[in-house]
Homo-oligomer: A and B are copies of this chain.
Amino acid sequence: MPCLLIWDPVGWGMSDNTTVDPEAPTEDAYALNAAVVDAILAAVDVQAQSRLVELLAPLHEADLADLLEQISPQDRQKLIHVWGDKFDGAVLSELEEGVRDEVLEILDQDTLASAVQELETDDLVYLAEDMEASQQAQFLDALDDVDRIAVEASLQYDDDTAGRLMSREMVICPPHWSVGEAIDYMRTHDDLPDTFYKVILADARMHVAGTVPLGRIMSHRREVPLLELADTAPRLIPVGQSAADVAYAFNQYHMVSAPVVDVDERLVGVITIDDAMEVLEDEAEEDMKRLAGLGDEELSDTVWTTARARFPWLAVNLATAILASLVIAVFEATIEAIVALAVLMPIIASMGGNAATQTLTVAVRALATRDITRANAWRVIRREVLVGLGNGLAFAVIISVVGIVWFGSGALGAVLAVAMVVNMVVAGLAGILIPMALEKAGADPALASGTFVTTVTDIVGFFVFLGLAGLVLL
């Protein structure tokens, strides 16, 4: 059977996908194609609007937004001008704030007014909420009445609450309806939301009696009462709940959509999983940035904006670094007598700083996912201290050998060892207690950031090492 010889296993491997399409899933799946970007910029350069529109047409608005963010400010301005009246309004809600403001300033009023006509109210709210008062007034004026009223109503709720996240477009049926009545009702309405997953059962006073997933409606006979199919105790989101809590609930309970209710438990809107997913992603990013001492800077921010935003945290770090230097200054005489101490002291500080950062990151993450509660708080603290002690002892052995071999002094080795153990235990304690205390005080635990926690380990590290050395070696 000679055909076996030309049988190519690669073409049939289950997990090999290079044969489907040369452009598809590689390392760079979904990244913007460089050739397309070049072609777009070439069209912009010669001001060929129809060619530009043709090139932009196949791109999803999220990709268009990425493109606008990634090209230079000059190219961006030119592109918007050449795009002109064909500008796609959906791009606006995908843009980073800085770039969005830039684009809003370039767009003329007519283009903007027609561009935002197609947007859903939750996207309009998202656009309007970050605007300055005058810009917002102008923007609201450009909307038609129905949209403007909905957006103004949402803006009444506090920033970062369920009220801002929710959409007012939902499908509500009276609780006594049957499957058939619901389907007939939906068939006669052509203004249903673009995507919805559940029908909400609510009485005339807008109290929620239950929710019915569409799939369940579809799979039952017309005469079945909706209440029989409903989840009659769905999780209701209070309109004032923080967006972070909403996102947590969606993730924790694998929710797809949830009714939002006001203080009187009246239905006011619905939140869907895609909005929650965005919040969840933003929250994780925010924690990551805060741990590094960053504000909410964007990659497209200018040098000046970025430098100014990072300055305060660096200034805090300078202050804490000077504090640590003051500790060293106390021991100037000791260092003068034994210069080896100056060589070795950064090792103790650095190990403490790293161990503290490890603990801190675990703590901030666990607090964000609500995994530290009264039930395990003490066990978690004890664990961090013991981990610090264990690794402290291990590295004490190693560093004392280094001290002895390098500087030939057993006493120096012993001082290094003791300082290492103390600083690693302190690192564990500081790394867990500082974020927990911040959380307890109602502050964001991620604000503890490397800067504050490593200040503790720097100061303790220098003090214990130099202090002990002064006592033992002099």
A196 lies within 8 A of chain B by Cβ: yes
* Chain B hits for A346, CB < 8 A: 321, 324-325, 328, 346, 349, 458, 462
B313 lies within 8 A of A263 (CB): no
A313 lies within 8 A of B238 (CB): no
* Chain B hits for A67, CB < 8 A: 375
Report the minimal beta-carbon distance from A157 to chain B, rounded to whole angstroms. 6
Known A187-B221, A346-B346, A375-B37: A442·B284 in contact at CB below 8 Å: no
* Chain B hits for A288, CB < 8 A: 284, 287-288, 291, 361, 365
Give the secondary structure class of A's interface: helix
Q: How far apart are the CA atoms of A215 and B221 in the complex, in Å?
A: 17
Report the minimal beta-carbon distance from A40 to chain B, rounded to whole angstroms. 10
Report the minimal beta-carbon distance from A39 to chain B, rounded to whole angstroms. 12
B70 lies within 8 A of A375 (CB): yes
A114 lies within 8 A of chain B by Cβ: no
A322 lies within 8 A of B402 (CB): yes
Report the minimal beta-carbon distance from A392 to chain B, rounded to whole angstroms. 10
Residue of B nearest to A248 (CB): B30
Q: How far apart are the CA atoms of A221 and B184 in the complex, in Å?
A: 9
Encoded as 1 (CB less than 8 Å from any B CB) or 0, chain A from 325 to 346 comes to 1001100100110011111111
A71 lies within 8 A of chain B by Cβ: yes
- Copies of this protein in the assembly total 2
Encoded as 1 (CB less than 8 Å from any B CB) or 0, chain A from 219 to 243 comes to 1110000000000000000111110
* Chain B hits for A265, CB < 8 A: 20
Q: How far apart are the CA atoms of A157 and B14 in the complex, in Å?
A: 7
* Chain B hits for A190, CB < 8 A: 219
Residue of B nearest to A233 (CB): B58
Q: How far apart are the CA atoms of A29 and B252 in the complex, in Å?
A: 12
* Chain B hits for A302, CB < 8 A: 383
Encoded as 1 (CB less than 8 Å from any B CB) or 0, chain A from 8 to 43 comes to 000111111101100011011111101001000000
Encoded as 1 (CB less than 8 Å from any B CB) or 0, chain A from 429 to 470 comes to 000000000000010000000110000001000100000000
Q: How far apart are the CA atoms of A329 and B342 in the complex, in Å?
A: 9
A181 lies within 8 A of chain B by Cβ: no
B324 lies within 8 A of A386 (CB): no
A313 lies within 8 A of B217 (CB): no
Q: How far apart are the CA atoms of A28 and B442 in the complex, in Å?
A: 10
* Chain B hits for A27, CB < 8 A: 442
* Chain B hits for A14, CB < 8 A: 156-157, 163, 239-240, 262-263
Report the minimal beta-carbon distance from A193 to chain B, rounded to whole angstroms. 7
Of the candidates B241, B350, B387, the one whose C-beta lies within 8 Å of that of A306 is B387
6 closest residue pairs by CB, A with B: A292-B361, A284-B284, A342-B342, A17-B240, A15-B240, A214-B214
